[in-house]
């Protein structure tokens, strides 16, 4: 148990760094047992009164330290870093330190570490302090010169940021490269890679004619899985020029893929380092979803070159300045590359599933938090996903032209600077002339606003009056919140499905600006009682309180699901409708209403039309999953939800088996390995049909899935069939699991899927299987992907088993966190995510979850990472 409380950092304590760091010259001497880092850092004074200088440095062995060439005698060192007295006066001074680090022993994967045979770095947020002594904060921007030396045989590839200036051979089989990055950068963007890697190469010519060399470095043997990432990179570079006018600024852009990585990828200047899971993609080993993710993460990291690197954050409280903006940019990129409606559906589903619970839970925090214990815990859904929604709303409010003027101004005014979220908003205010002060509450108030709507039609006056009210729930440390500026996109449909024009220009979607607690909007010349399509395209990250919508009845949702011209809202209406039915089944023991069979049948008819949008229809015929259903329940009982969902699927299946079979058959002979939008959409539809078709787990279902597995010509189909087979109890299904393992044992990313499929299966014995898999020779707590594939898959994707009433699931997670606490505290803290929401579950589960959290707080040497999440989760 911790006896001390780790220190909290507050936004209000921000003070500029009193010195400028004009340049750093780094030398890395990489050897098997240790790496010696020599840093020559040039400082100049900004604050004439500063009497001390502090440099971060953690877990470093200090070999020597010299100031202006003289050994430094007087300095103090503690576990956070060193403090010394700088020379008086304005003269530049130079500090030279020599430190020793041990990358092979670094299991935290922060700073310099080894992934397999490759040395690589991860410095965001505070990893550079594990490499050398330096002011490790984003507002200190420095020009980096880096020399890397290592054994040529072990590490033929030596990379760092910027341009390669020279290289050469040395005695004893050693060699070196020297790098210069002309753009001053914070140290969190520093990167180094040394290892035995192979690469693919391509080029991109920017709009002003600069030819950029593009390289993707991977483990030898993986080069055949890089083409998609390379194409994605070129598309991103072009898109950023076309849509934001932003061009790449160096002659070289490198991506390196490593197997051990805490997150998805990292935007280090010109040397992006990626988790292999987000680079490698081949139809034989990656699903369509993997392909999409690779494309969007490659884009995300590339877009950071401007939103994050050229213009960076003043402090870590401003993290969403770069992350929210960059997520919004990558979402829009993906929408442009594929289908905007489907992209929006997937983004909103993700937001609701992961960010909404965070915003309603014990760790709710604003998009710009004002305190933290461990910054790594604040790479959250709120910073990233809600942050992106905030940018989207801004664009909706000021309009796309002003938004583009605003980003132009932001990137030119703040180029080379470390700035704040306010600076960004001020640019938007300046170009649009709009007062955004109320809008800024989105940055400071946590919690998902709830919006209730009431509509009244006046048949005599031919007016429709819509009243909107907002309520922002209390969150830890925040009560009595002010009304926010919420853009609500609205359309009105007549009974034939035609839209009413809503303004002079006859636009059929109108943005309502909800700014008060309650506000009324009147629409004239509405000839018939309209059906309102509210929050089109999910124009704001809010919860529409549907149960209070006396203007909308379940039949209206069914109507909108067929007729709303807004694709997103068509999908939304279907989901709302099905969630409503599931609620009635759970609370009232209701039967499935006739209207539901009819509406679902109509959807299936749509899906059967050859020209239909398959990707959209796959999402529309999908019955909300257990987690999704749970999100809207007062009290979550996963087992009961599972049962109701099962009944609904079986009911719909019995009524429409022929149609579902026809949908399945229609796409069952598609191109094996094409990843065109058409093929991807068709596969999504086919596999959704397979899922529904085999829901009753009959003998014929097993045969169908075995057939599907056998005939699969790509990983998407193979894994879809395997997921179903894993649920069935027969020995022959287990043979398939074994066959899968043997076939892919040399592909770690596919073996991750093998672990995840088993951990996610809703079977009675899954907890026992997870325990067995923990002991599997291929399992390792040191590899974050593997940890996620077993424990996160179990705890996050398998609500029925994880929340089994005997508490086994919570015990498994608690034991994993205890073990990981010292190996990799960042990953340990993240694994706690599903326990944070304990207050949402049935009383028996609440008690067990809370007790698991309390036991975690008793772990010896508890890391600040885990302490912060566990202690805040149980706080009253
Ligand atoms: N900036 C990266 C995400 C990232 C953050 C922290 C990391 O290690 C602790 C690694 C990556 C991004 O947004 O892509
Ligand atoms: Zn990012």
User: pLDDT digit string (tens) for 444-459?
Assistant: 999 999 999 999 999 9
Sequence-separated (6 or more) residues with CB below 8 Å from residue 309 = 183, 185, 189, 267, 269
Residue nearest to atom 11 of ligand 1 (CA): 266
Q: Which ligand is nearest to the CA of 326?
A: 2
- Residue 556: its pLDDT value, please? 85
What is the mean predicted confidence (pLDDT) over 9-21?
A: 98
Residue nearest to atom 10 of ligand 1 (CA): 263
d(CA 450, CA 549): 12
Q: Which of 269, 379, 387 to mutate to test the pocket of ligand 1 (most atoms within 8 A of CB)?
A: 379
pLDDT digits (tens, 9 = 90+) for 346-379: 999 999 999 999 999 999 999 999 999 999 999 9
The set of protein residues with a Cβ atom below 6 angstroms from ligand 1 is 122, 124-125, 262-267, 300-301, 323, 376, 379
CA of 326 to the centre of ligand 2 (A): 6
pLDDT band at 692 (very low <50, low <70, confident <90, very high): very high
Annotation marks residue 430 as catalytic: no
Closest-lying ligand 1 atom to the alpha carbon of residue 122: 8
590 or 447, greater pLDDT? 447
Predicted confidence (pLDDT) at residue 670 exceeds the cutoff of 70: no
pLDDT band at 548 (very low <50, low <70, confident <90, very high): very low
Predicted confidence (pLDDT) at residue 116 exceeds the cutoff of 60: yes
- Residue 552: its pLDDT value, please? 63
Share of residues in the chain with pLDDT > 70 (%): 99
Q: Which of 236, 257, 265, 824 to mutate to test the pocket of ligand 1 (most atoms within 8 A of CB)?
A: 265
| Torsional sign, CA 221, 223, 224, 225 | positive
Contact 690, 721 (CB under 8 A): yes
- Residue 717: its pLDDT value, please? 96
Predicted confidence (pLDDT) at residue 153 exceeds the cutoff of 50: yes
- Residue 671: its pLDDT value, please? 64
Predicted confidence (pLDDT) at residue 6 exceeds the cutoff of 60: yes
Number of neighbouring beta carbons within 10 Å of residue 408: 15
- Residue 493: its pLDDT value, please? 96
- Residue 817: its pLDDT value, please? 98
Backbone angles phi, psi at 87, to 5 degrees: -60, 150
Which pair of structure tokens corresponds to residue 502? 């809503």
pLDDT band at 730 (very low <50, low <70, confident <90, very high): confident
Q: How far, CA to CA in Å, does 336 sit from each of 395, 500, 691, 698? A: 16, 28, 29, 42
Contact 736, 706 (CB under 8 A): yes
pLDDT digits (tens, 9 = 90+) for 241-281: 999 999 999 999 999 999 999 999 999 999 999 999 999 99
CA of 6 to the centre of ligand 2 (A): 27
pLDDT digits (tens, 9 = 90+) for 39-52: 999 999 999 999 99
- Residue 381: its pLDDT value, please? 98
| Three-class SS state of 389 | helix
The model's pTM is: 0.98
Q: Which ligand is nearest to the CA of 188?
A: 1
Task: Please tell me which residue in 301, 385, 837, 868 is annotated as part of the active site.
Answer: 301
Residue nearest to atom 1 of ligand 1 (CA): 266
Closest-lying ligand 1 atom to the alpha carbon of residue 384: 13
Residue nearest to atom 2 of ligand 1 (CA): 266
Q: Which residues share a beta bridge with 311?
A: 307, 417
pLDDT digits (tens, 9 = 90+) for 614-650: 999 999 999 999 999 999 999 999 999 999 999 999 9
Sequence-separated (6 or more) residues with CB below 8 Å from residue 515 = 438, 483, 484, 485, 486
In which element (H, E) is residue 67 found?
Answer: strand 61-67
How far is Cα of residue 323 from the mean position of the Cα atoms in its chain? 10
Closest alpha carbon to 386 in 452, 309, 441: 441
Residue nearest to atom 12 of ligand 1 (CA): 266
Share of residues in the chain with pLDDT > 90 (%): 94
- Residue 547: its pLDDT value, please? 46
Average pLDDT, the chain: 96
Which pair of structure tokens corresponds to residue 440? 């800024």
Q: Which of 82-86, 515-519, 549-553, 603-607 has the lowest mean pLDDT?
A: 549-553
């Amino acid at each position: 148990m911790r006896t001390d409380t780790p220190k909290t950092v507050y936004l209000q304590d921000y003070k500029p760094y009193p010195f400028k760091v004009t340049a750093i010259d780094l030398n890395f001497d990489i050897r098997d047992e240790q790496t010696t880092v020599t840093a020559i850092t040039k400082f100049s004074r900004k604050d004439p009164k500063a009497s001390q200088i502090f440099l971060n440095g953690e877990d470093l062995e200090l070999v020597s330290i010299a100031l202006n060439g003289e050994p430094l005698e007087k300095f103090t060192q503690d576990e956070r870093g060193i403090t010394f007295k700088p020379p008086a006066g304005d003269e530049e001074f130079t500090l030279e330190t020599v430190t020793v680090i041990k990358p092979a022993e670094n299991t935290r994967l922060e700073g310099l570490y080894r992934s397999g045979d490759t040395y690589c770095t991860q410095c965001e947020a505070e990893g550079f302090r594990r490499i050398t002594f330096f002011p490790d904060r984003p507002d200190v921007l420095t020009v980096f010169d880096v020399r890397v030396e290592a054994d040529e045989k072990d590490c033929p590839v030596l990379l760092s940021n910027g341009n390669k200036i020279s290289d050469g051979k040395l005695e004893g089989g050693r060699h070196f490269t020297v790098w210069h990055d002309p753009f001053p950068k914070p140290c969190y963007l520093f990167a180094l890679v040394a290892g035995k890697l192979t690469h693919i190469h391509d080029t991109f010519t920017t709009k002003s004619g600069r030819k950029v060399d593009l390289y993707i470095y991977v483990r030898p043997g993986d080069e055949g899985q890089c083409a998609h990432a390379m194409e994605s990179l070129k598309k991103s570079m072009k898109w950023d020029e076309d849509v934001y006018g932003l061009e790449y600024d160096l002659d070289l852009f490198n991506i390196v893929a490593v197997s051990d990585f805490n997150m998805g990828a990292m935007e280090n200047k010109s040397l992006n380092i990626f988790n292999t899971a987000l680079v490698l993609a081949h139809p034989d080993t990656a699903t369509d979803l993997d392909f999409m993710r690779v494309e969007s993460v490659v884009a995300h990291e590339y877009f950071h070159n401007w939103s994050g690197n050229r213009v960076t954050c003043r402090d870590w409280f401003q993290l969403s300045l770069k992350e929210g903006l960059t997520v919004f940019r990558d979402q829009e990129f993906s929408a442009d590359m594929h289908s905007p409606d489907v992209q929006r559906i997937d983004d909103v589903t993700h937001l609701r599933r992961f960010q909404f619970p965070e915003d309603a839970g014990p760790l709710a925090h604003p998009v710009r938090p004002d305190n933290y214990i461990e910054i790594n815990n604040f790479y959250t859904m709120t910073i990233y996903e809600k942050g992106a929604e905030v940018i989207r709303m801004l664009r909706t409010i000021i309009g796309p032209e002003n938004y583009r003027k605003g980003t132009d101004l932001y990137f030119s005014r703040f180029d080379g600077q470390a700035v704040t979220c306010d600076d960004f908003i001020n640019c938007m205010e300046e170009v649009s002339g709009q007062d955004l002060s109320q809008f800024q509450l989105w940055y400071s108030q946590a919690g998902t606003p709830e919006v209730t709507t009431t509509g009244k039609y006046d048949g005599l006056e031919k007016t429709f009056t819509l009243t909107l009210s907002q309520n922002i729930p209390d969150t830890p440390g925040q009560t009595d919140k002010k009304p926010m500026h919420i853009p609500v996109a609205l359309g009105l449909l007549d009974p034939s499905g035609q839209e009413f024009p809503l303004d002079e220009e006859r636009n059929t979607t109108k943005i309502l600006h909800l700014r008060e607690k309650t506000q009324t909007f009147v629409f004239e010349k509405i000839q018939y009682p309209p059906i309102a399509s509210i929050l089109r395209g999910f124009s704001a990250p809010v919860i529409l309180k549907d149960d209070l919508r006396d203007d909308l009845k379940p039949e209206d949702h069914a109507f909108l699901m067929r007729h709303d011209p807004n694709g997103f809202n068509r999908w939304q209406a279907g989901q709302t409708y099905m969630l409503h039915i599931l609620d009635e089944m759970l609370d009232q023991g209701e039967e499935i209403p006739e209207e539901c069979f009819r509406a679902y049948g109509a959807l299936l008819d749509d899906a059967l039309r050859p020209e239909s949008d398959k990707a959209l229809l796959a999402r529309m015929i999908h019955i909300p999953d257990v987690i999704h259903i749970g999100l809207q329940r007062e009290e979550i009982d996963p087992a009961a939800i599972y049962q109701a969902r099962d009944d609904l699927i079986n009911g719909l299946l019995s009524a429409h088996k022929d149609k579902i079979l026809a949908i399945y058959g229609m796409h069952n002979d598609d191109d094996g390995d094409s990843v065109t939008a058409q093929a991807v959409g068709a596969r999504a539809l086919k596999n959704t049909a397979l899922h529904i078709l085999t829901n009753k787990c009959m003998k014929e279902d097993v045969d169908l899935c075995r057939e599907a597995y056998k005939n699969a010509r790509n990983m998407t189909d193979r894994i879809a069939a395997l997921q179903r087979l894993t649920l069935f109890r027969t020995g022959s299904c287990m043979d398939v699991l074994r066959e899968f393992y043997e076939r892919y044992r040399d592909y770690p990313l596919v073996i991750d899927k093998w672990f995840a499929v088993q951990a996610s299966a809703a079977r009675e014995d899954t907890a026992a299987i997870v325990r067995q898999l923990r002991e599997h020779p291929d399992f390792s707590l040191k590899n974050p992907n593997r940890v996620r594939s077993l424990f996160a898959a179990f705890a996050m994707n398998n609500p029925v088993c994880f929340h089994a009433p005997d508490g086994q699931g919570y015990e498994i997670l608690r034991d994993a966190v205890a073990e990981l606490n010292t190996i990799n505290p960042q990953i340990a803290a993240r694994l706690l995510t599903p326990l944070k929401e304990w207050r949402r579950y049935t009383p028996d589960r609440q008690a067990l979850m809370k007790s698991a959290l309390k036991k975690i707080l008793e772990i010896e040497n508890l890391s600040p990472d885990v302490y912060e999440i566990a202690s805040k989760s149980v706080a009253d």
